[in-house]
Amino acid sequence: MLTIFGRISSINVQKAVWAAGEVGQPFERIDIGGQFGGNKEPAYLAKNPNGQIPTLEDGEICIWESNSIVRYLAARYGAGWIWEEDPARRADADRWMDWMNTSLQPAMTPAFWALIRKLPEHQNPAIIETSIANTEAKLDILEAHLAGRSYLAGERFGMADITVAPGAHRWLHMPVPQKERPNLTRWYRQVSARPAAVPALPLPIS
């Protein structure tokens, strides 16, 4: 059985939990990080020297970095399903996975820290406004891409959807002004209703 270390309120843990569910692998999730602590303890740092979450254990295999975990689970247990053998199709998924980490998630994080986690040191109105504007611009990219597509990497559900949808889930439940994006809304409703997604995307966001 797999073991996933990390609290479910983390977007990155949500990716790992969703991927494990999609490939049909039973797992135990252990709360680590945030209010639970434990991620700076020697036993955990021996698994993940960064002290971050998530970390995945599969027998003697130990993996950290959320996108690497999703790729591992997809390749090992989801070949022909959420793992693309064709390099071009896989690159299509990979780019959206990386886009989530390098573009969408950094854009939304300042507003999330301020408005949801209410961290005192992140209450600068100008920074919040910039975060909202930057995130909305990124979502415009997503909206345009999803026009005429069922999923992020084409007509088959896959790794990219598992990786990007937790970000959409978070933002669409944020108390911020948002314009209508029918393609994004349609896609989010479709993927978030999947049985493996439901336990991975809790509400309210926190």
Evaluate whether residue 99 is within a structural domain. Answer: yes
Query: What total of structural domains would you count in the chain?
Result: 2
Mean pLDDT of all residues in 181-199: 98
User: Please, are residues 54 and 66 in contact by the beta-carbon 8 Å criterion?
Assistant: yes
Judged by average pLDDT, the poorest of 55-64, 77-86, 194-203 is 77-86
Domain with 49 in it: what CATH number? 3.40.30.10
What pLDDT score does 66 carry? 98
CB under 8 Å to 133, separation ≥6 — which residues?
Answer: none
For residue 97 the two structure tokens come to 């996975």
Structural domain including 64 reads 2-77
What pLDDT score does 34 carry? 94
Closest-CA residue to 162 (of 38, 36, 58, 78): 78
| Strand (E) or helix (H) holding 19 | helix 11-22
3-state secondary structure of 29: strand
Per residue in 88-144, pLDDT (tens digit) is 999 999 999 999 999 999 999 999 999 999 999 999 999 999 999 999 999 999 999
Specify burial of residue 188 (Cβ count, 10 A radius: 0-12, 13-18, 19+).
buried
Tally of residues, the chain: 206
Evaluate whether residue 202 is within a structural domain. Answer: no
Q: How confident is the model at residue 206 (pLDDT cuts 50, 70, 90)?
A: very high
What pLDDT score does 150 carry? 96
Rounded to whole angstroms, the Cα distance separating 178 from 201 reads 20
What pLDDT score does 42 carry? 98
Per residue in 62-87, pLDDT (tens digit) is 999 999 999 999 999 998 889 988 99
